[in-house]
Amino acid sequence: MLKDRFERIHDYLRISLTDRCNLRCSYCMPYDLPRGFYAHSVKMTAAEVEHIAAAFVGQGVKKIRLTGGEPLLRKDAGEILERLSAYPVELALTTNGVFIDEYLTRLQKSGLRSINVSLDSLRRERFFSITGRDAFDRVFGNIRLLLNEKFHVKVNVVVIRGENDDELLDFVRWTKEAPVHIRFIEFMPFSGNAWDSSKVVTHRQILDALASEFHCERTETHANDTAKPYRISGHAGTFAVISTMSEPFCSGCNRMRITTDGKMKNCLFSRDETDLLTPLRRGEDIVPLIRECLEAKKEKLGGQFEGLTGSTVASEIINRSMVQIGG
C-alpha cells in the first residue's frame, strides 16, 4: 500500500503517454511557450509503460488513467491499452476526442468504459479559436458515438472568464437529453499559460450563474473525488465542478503521476520529480524510489501556492506546462 506522511492512501496513477498534441489549447499549450518535444529515446516505450504500471499495481494501485498531451496520438496507444487491460485495475482515458472514432474497437476491447473528453465550447468558431483547430464537429460527433456505444462520458470544460463563461447554461442544458457528465474545471496556473486570478471562475460563481435557470442539487461525494457533483431533476446527465483553486481537495488526494519521459510526480503541482525510467532501464527495482517520492509529497498544491486565498503568481510556480505533465 502506498501511504504518504499525511496518511493518504495513493491508489490512482495517471500516466502521460506523450507530450505532443494535435490541438493547441491556449491555457495548456500556448503558442509562445518555449518548449521542445521529448525525443523518442527518452520516452517510455509501451513495454516500459507496462513495467512501471505493474510496479504501481504491485503496491496497491487500483485505477490507471492514460493522458497526455493527446494520448491517442501515440501509434501504440492501442497496444498500451491492451497491455494494461491484463491488470486488475480500472482503466480510464482523458482525450481531446479527435481520434475516438479510429480507436473505438480498441477502446471497447480493452474493457475501458469511462472516458473523459475535453470540450471547452459548444460553438464551432470558438472551439477553433481556443484550440487552434477546426475540429468541433469531429469531437462532438465522437462524443455522440461514445454515448451511443454506452460509454460513461465526462466532458471536461476549463472555464475561463471572458472566454467561455457565457456557455455555462448551454453546457448544462445539453445534459437534459444527453447522458453526459459535464465537469467544469477552474482554470489552473502552469508554466507559460498566462494564468491570472481574475480569469478564474470559481465553484461558487459557477453555481450562481446556473441558479438563474436551474435548481442544482448536490449529490454524494466519495472520499477521493476531486469534483463536487450536482444533479438536476429530470436531466439525463449531471454536472460537477473541479474547484482546485477556490476549494482545493488535497486532503483526500490519492493521485500520482508519471510523465511521458518516466518521471514520477507526487502532485500535479509538485516541483520535484523522481526519475523512474533511467533506473528501470538499468534493471533496478523502482519500488523504493516510488515510496521515496511519495514520502516527499506536500500537504497541499505541491507546497507551491495557496489556491485563490494567497497571492498566487503563476510565473513563480516551478512546474512543467500542463501538456508536459499530463492532466
- Which residues would be at the binding site for ligand SF4 (CB under 6 A)? 21, 23-25, 28-29, 68-70, 96, 118, 323
3-state helix, strand, coil in the chain (%, to 5): 30, 20, 50
| Distance separating alpha carbons of residues 29 and 33, to the nearest angstrom | 7
Out of 19, 44, 51, 68, the residue judged to bind ligand SAM by CB under 6 A: 68
Beta carbon nearer to ligand SF4, 136 or 214: 136
**Number of C-beta neighbours around residue 120 at 10 A:** 24
**Residue range at the interface with ligand SAM (CB under 6 A); choices 56-64, 136-144, 287-295, 319-327:** 319-327
Q: 292-327 burial, b for 16+ CB within 10 Å, e for fewer?
A: ebbeebbebbbebbebbeeebebeebebbbbbbbbb
Bridge partners, residue 258, by sequence: 15, 264
- The region, left, alpha or beta by phi > 0 then psi within -120 to 50, assigned to residue 85 is alpha
Which residues 113-142 are close enough to bind ligand SAM by CB under 6 A?
118
What are the phi and psi torsion angles at 165 (to 5°)?
A: -75, -5
Least distance to ligand SAM from the beta carbon of 232, Å? 22
Name the one residue in this structure whose C-alpha cell is 479510429: 102
Q: Which does 67 bind (CB under 5 to 8 A by kind): ligand SF4, ligand SAM, none?
A: ligand SAM
How far out from the chain centre does Cα 131 lie? 16
Q: Please, what is the Cα angle at 303 between 297 and 304, to 5 degrees?
A: 135
Nearer Cβ to ligand SF4 (68/192):
68
Which is closer to ligand SAM, CB of 68 or CB of 78? Answer: 68
If contact means CB under 5 to 8 A according to the sort of partner, which of ligand SF4, ligand SAM, none does residue 193 touch? ligand SAM
Stretch that binds ligand SAM, among 64-72, 106-114, 136-144, 302-310 (CB under 6 A): 64-72
What is the number of alpha carbons within 13 Å of residue 6 lying toward its C-beta? 14
Unique residue bearing C-alpha cell 511519495? 294
Using the contact rule CB under 6 A, the part of the chain among 171-179, 187-195, 208-216, 281-289 near ligand SAM is 187-195
Name which of ligand SAM, ligand SF4, none residue 209 binds, using a CB cut-off of 5 to 8 Å depending on partner kind: none
Binder to ligand SAM among 2, 307, 322, 324 (CB under 6 A)?
322
Cβ–Cβ under 8 Å, residues 60 and 8: no
Within residues 82-101, the interface with ligand SAM by CB under 6 A covers 94-96
Q: Give CA 225 to chain center in angstroms.
A: 13
Least CB distance to ligand SF4 at residue 86 (A): 27
The interface mask with ligand SAM, positions 155-174, x = CB under 6 A, is: -x-x----------------
- Asked whether position 267 contacts ligand SAM by CB under 6 A, the answer is no
Residue 29's binding partner, choosing from ligand SF4, ligand SAM, none, with beta-carbon cut-off 5 to 8 A by kind?
A: ligand SF4
13-52: contacts with ligand SAM (CB under 6 A)? 21, 27-28
What is the dihedral sign for C-alpha 283, 286, 288, 293? positive
- Tell me the CB-side half-sphere exposure of residue 91, using CA atoms within 13 A: 23
Pick the piece of the chain touching ligand SAM (CB under 6 A) from 48-56, 185-193, 257-265, 303-311.
185-193
Q: How far apart are CA 258 and CA 12, in angstroms?
A: 11
Which residues contact ligand SAM (rule: CB under 6 A)? 21, 27-28, 67-68, 70, 94-96, 118, 156, 158, 185, 187-188, 190, 193, 322-323, 327
